[in-house]
Amino acid sequence: MRYRIERDILGMVKVPYYAYYGSETARAIGNFRISGLTIQQGFIRSYALLKRCAALANMRVGKLDGKRGRAIIRACDEVMRGRLNDFPLDIFQAGGGTSTNMNLNEVIANRAIELLNGKRGDYRMVHPNDHVNMSQSSNDTYPAAICMASYFAVRDSLLPSLDTLLHELRLKTREFSGIVKIGRTHMQDAVPITLGQEFSGYAGIVEEAIEGIRHAQTLLLELPIGGTAVGTGINAGRAYSKAFIGELNKASRARFYVSRRMFAVMQNRSAELSLANAVSEAAVGLGKIANDIRLLGSGPRAGLGDILIPEAQPGSSIMPGKINPSIPEMTNMVCFQCIGNATTVREAVSAAQLEINVFEPVIAYNLLFSLGILTNAAATFSRKCISGVKANTAKIREGIEMDLSIATALNPYIGYSKAAEIARKAYRENKSVKEVCIELKVMDKKKLDEILDARHTT
């Protein structure tokens, strides 16, 4: 492999000749061979957008000359379009995201140098720190990039996916509104409910999750841009911050704003924590729905069998013809992962010390990981499972006819104790509650038919 030699404060560094990154990235590659996990492309695109807006803002306030600025902007555009994909760093790296920030700075600088007909590594033309990182620090740009990437992921992917799931659940709520079935509490038979009412509960869970995520999303709009190293704004200035936000909002169609609590937001990353918690709560709810779908669809002969689930793929390597609830199972596993990711984010946020949080790389990775997999899981669960769920009316009818809990409807007429005796007798003799009531001549049959009509109890 051919190399070029770059120099930093620690000495000479060999950098692959054709790499767009430079010395700091090369050192980080050598130091942090930990997991093989790299930051998501959505984060890189958001960070490149940040660098683009910073260049425009620095040009507007007269700090960056037009020739360099335009080259930097073109290089940022190429990163955003995925044409420059030279970001190999492990997510477990130096604290504060400095290595990733410098990776962006070096790639953008070297591409800008090429656009100005120079050779990579000739930082006299465009310098990673002096020009690409002008008015910035890893300490204010890295958390800003997390907020930007997370906001875009929620707006453009997660919320639309959850909205689709909510729509399908509401359709099932209406479709199943007239199907009366046995309700269940404590995994035992309970008073009747319609299958539509049961699915309305699932729709409500998703609706609540959406509301929580929307609230957390608004917190991401507050950016520590211009705070630079510790929040004082050294080497930046208010004019720069104002110009940056203007460029960002124009490019993103959002309403980001410069934090008025600069020291607080640089010290404590509560916005990311709020979103991680909201996603975790959504995962808890979605996991409950997936659990119920697996239970209600269990069988095909010895399970609950209230619903029929679309068949996605063969379910066993040894049992011929067995079909498992593969899509709900996948959904459950994604939910477990999101809950675990939120724990990692919470621990990382809680470990902040003094002026900044140095654990932002692991916050960024786990938060964006959750947003990505929950988006895909909700869309797949909706499309390949919920939309195709059918009511198993024969099994439901069989169950409702022998429902013991329907005796609850007798309470106002004969009292709890007498109704309990009837229910236990029906169970022991494998009879319906109505059959026992008729046998014991509890009341007029016409009145009994009215009281024990399951449709009147839902």
Residue 156's Cβ-count burial label (10 Å; 0-12, 13-18, 19+) is exposed
* Rounded average pLDDT over 230-252: 95
Q: How confident is the model at residue 454 (pLDDT cuts 50, 70, 90)?
A: confident
Q: Where are the domains of the chain?
A: 3-134, 140-221+267-394, 402-457
pLDDT > 80? residue 75 = yes
Residue 405 pLDDT: 81
3-class SS at 257? Answer: strand
pLDDT of 97 over the 80 cut: yes
Residue 301 phi, psi (nearest 5): -120, -25
- Which is more confidently placed, 318 or 403? 318
In angstroms, what CA-CA distances link 79 with 7, 131, 203, 427? 25, 17, 40, 70
Rounded to whole angstroms, the Cα distance separating 222 from 238 reads 15
**Distance in angstroms (rounded) separating the CA atoms of residues 104 and 416:** 72
- The kind and range of the H/E element at 251 are helix 238-252
Which parts of 133-194 fold into alpha helices (H)? 138-153, 159-175
- pLDDT for position 41: 96
- Residue 259, pLDDT > 80, answer yes
pLDDT digits 0-9 by tens, 411-437: 999 899 998 999 899 889 888 888 888
Residue closest to 375 by CA, chosen among 218, 209, 148, 220: 209
Percent of the chain with pLDDT over 70: 100
Q: Which residues does 246 contact at the CB level (< 8 Å), separation at least 6?
A: 57
pLDDT at 434: 87
Coil vs helix vs strand at 8: strand
Ranges assigned E (strand) in 11-99? 11-16
Examine the pLDDT at 317 and tell me if it is beyond 90: no
Sequential DSSP letters for 290-320: HHHHHHHT--SSSS--SEEPPP-SB--SSST
Q: Is the pLDDT of residue 73 over 90?
A: yes
pTM exceeds cut of 0.85: yes
Q: Hey, which residues does 192 pair with through a beta bridge?
A: 182
Q: Which residues are catalytic?
A: 186, 316
Question: Average pLDDT, stretch 401-417?
Answer: 87
Q: Are 321 and 209 in contact (CB under 8 A)?
A: no
Q: What is the rounded CA–CA span in Å between residue 165 and residue 386?
A: 8
120-174 tens-digit pLDDT: 999 999 999 999 999 999 999 999 999 999 999 999 999 999 999 999 999 999 9
- Which pLDDT score, from 0 to 100, does residue 445 have? 86
Instruction: State the pLDDT at residue 402.
Output: 83
What would the mean pLDDT of 377-406 be, rounded to a whole number? 92
DSSP string, 196-233: HHHHHHHHHHHHHHHHHHHHHHHHTTEE-TT-TTTSS-
User: Residue 239: what pLDDT?
Assistant: 95
Q: Minimal CA–CA distance to 366: which of 284, 282, 272, 287?
A: 272
**402-457 — its CATH code?**
1.10.40.30
Cβ atoms of 188 and 427 within 8 Å: the answer is: no
Which stretch of 21-25, 185-189, 372-376 has the lowest confidence by average pLDDT?
185-189
Tokens of 307: 């619903």
May I ask the CATH architecture of the domain 140-221+267-394?
Up-down Bundle (1.20)
CA distance from start to end of the chain: 74
Cα 351 from Cα 450, distance rounded (Å): 63
Q: Are 349 and 269 in contact (CB under 8 A)?
A: yes
Same fold, 3-134 and 140-221+267-394: no
Share of the chain above pLDDT 90, in %: 84
The CATH number for 3-134, chosen from 3.30.420.40, 1.20.20.10, 1.10.275.10, 3.40.50.300, is: 1.10.275.10
- pLDDT on residue 398: 86
Calpha distance 78→19 (Å, rounded): 15
Q: What is the pLDDT of residue 245?
A: 97
- Residue 138 near residue 229 (C-beta atoms within 8 A): no
